Amino acid sequence: MSEILAPGGTPAGAAPQHAPETLPKTLYEAYDCAALTRPEALLLVWTEAGLERISLPDCLDQGRQVAEGLRRLGVGKGHVIATQLPQSLELIVVEVAAARLGAIVLTVVPTFGANELGYILRESGAKAFVSRTHWRKADVRQRLIDCGDLPALAAHVICRAEAPAGTIAWSSLLGPTTSDAPYAEAAPDDVSFLLYTSGTTADPKGVQHTHRSLLAEIRSTEALLGPHAQGVAMSPWPTGHIAGALTNLRFLALGRTTICMEHWEASACADLLQLLGATYGSGTPYHLTGLLDAADAAGHSLATLKAFQTGAAPVPPSLVARCAARGLATFRAYGSTEHPTSTFGSPDDPLEKRLTTEGRVVPGVELRFLDDDGQDVAAGEDGEIVTRGPDMFAGYTKAELNEAALLPGHWCRSGDVGHLDAEGYLVLTDRKKDIIIRGGENISSREVEDHLHAHPAVAEAAAVAAPDARMGEIVCAFVVTRPGQDIDIAEVDRWFGARGLARHKTPERLEIIDALPRNATGKVLKHELRRRLRGL
**Can you give 122-152 as a three-state secondary structure string?**
HHHCCCEEEEECEECCEEHHHHHHHCCCCCC
Instruction: Indicate whether 346 and 414 sit together in one domain.
Output: yes
Instruction: Indicate whether 268 and 198 sit together in one domain.
Output: no
As a whole number of angstroms, the distance between CA 508 and CA 514 comes to 20
Instruction: Yes or no: say if 252 and 56 are a contact pair by the CB < 8 Å rule.
Output: yes
As a whole number of angstroms, the distance between CA 54 and CA 91 comes to 12
Instruction: Indicate whether 466 and 421 sit together in one domain.
Output: no
Spatial CA neighbour of 417 closest among 401, 433, 437, 441: 433
Instruction: Yes or no: say if 480 and 459 are a contact pair by the CB < 8 Å rule.
Output: yes
Instruction: Yes or no: say if 415 and 386 are a contact pair by the CB < 8 Å rule.
Output: no
CA triple 88-113-497, angle to 5 deg: 125
H or E element, residue 255: none
Q: Is residue 54 part of a domain?
A: yes
> What does the pLDDT read at residue 230?
82
Q: Is residue 255 part of a domain?
A: no
> What does the pLDDT read at residue 1?
25
Instruction: Indicate whether 423 and 277 sit together in one domain.
Output: yes
Domain-ending residue, one of 431, 455, 473: 431
As a whole number of angstroms, the distance between CA 442 and CA 427 comes to 21
Q: Is residue 165 part of a domain?
A: yes
Instruction: Indicate whether 393 and 516 sit together in one domain.
Output: no
Instruction: Yes or no: say if 125 and 104 are a contact pair by the CB < 8 Å rule.
Output: no
CATH of the domain at 377: 3.40.50.12780
Instruction: Indicate whether 215 and 276 sit together in one domain.
Output: no
Please list, in sequence order, all residues whose beta carbon lies within 8 angstroms of the beta carbon of residue 483, skipping any fewer than 6 positions away.
none
Domain-ending residue, one of 224, 245, 276: 224
Q: Is residue 235 part of a domain?
A: no
As a whole number of angstroms, the distance between CA 125 and CA 303 comes to 47
Instruction: Indicate whether 145 and 74 sit together in one domain.
Output: yes
> What does the pLDDT read at residue 8?
30
Instruction: Indicate whether 440 and 423 sit together in one domain.
Output: no
Instruction: Indicate whether 308 and 212 sit together in one domain.
Output: no
Per residue in 124-139, is it b (16+ CB within 10 Å) or e — as a string? bbbbbbbbbbebeebe
Please, where are the H alpha helices in 38-185?
56-72, 89-101, 114-124, 140-146
CATH of the domain at 441: 3.30.300.30
Q: Is residue 236 part of a domain?
A: no
Number of domains in the chain: 3
Instruction: Indicate whether 425 and 507 sit together in one domain.
Output: no
Domain-ending residue, one of 401, 431, 461: 431
Instruction: Yes or no: say if 487 and 493 are a contact pair by the CB < 8 Å rule.
Output: no
Q: Is residue 237 part of a domain?
A: no
Spatial CA neighbour of 30 closest among 256, 191, 252: 252
Q: Is residue 251 part of a domain?
A: no
Residue 277, CA distances (Å) to 232, 268, 272 in order: 7, 14, 8
Q: Is residue 185 part of a domain?
A: yes
Residue 67, CA distances (Å) to 61, 64, 84, 95, 156 in order: 10, 5, 18, 10, 15
Q: Tell me which residue range forms the domain holding 86.
A: 26-224
Strand partners, 138: 135
Kindly report the number of other CB atoms within 10 A of residue 78's CB atom.
14
Instruction: Indicate whether 113 and 50 sit together in one domain.
Output: yes
Instruction: Indicate whether 191 and 49 sit together in one domain.
Output: yes
Task: Provide the residue-wise pLDDT of the chain in tens; the chain has 536 residues.
Answer: 223 323 233 334 444 455 556 789 999 999 999 999 999 999 999 999 999 999 999 999 999 999 999 999 999 999 999 999 999 999 999 999 999 999 999 999 998 889 999 999 999 999 999 999 999 889 999 999 999 999 999 999 999 999 999 999 999 999 877 666 778 889 999 999 999 986 555 688 999 999 999 999 999 999 998 888 888 999 999 899 999 999 999 999 999 999 999 999 999 999 999 999 899 999 988 889 899 999 999 999 999 999 999 887 767 777 888 898 888 999 999 999 999 999 999 999 999 998 889 999 999 999 999 998 999 999 999 899 999 999 999 999 999 999 989 999 999 999 888 999 999 999 988 777 677 888 888 787 888 888 998 899 998 899 999 988 888 899 999 999 999 999 999 999 999 999 888 888 999 999 999 999 986 556 788 888 988 887 75
One-letter amino acid for residue 107 of the chain: T
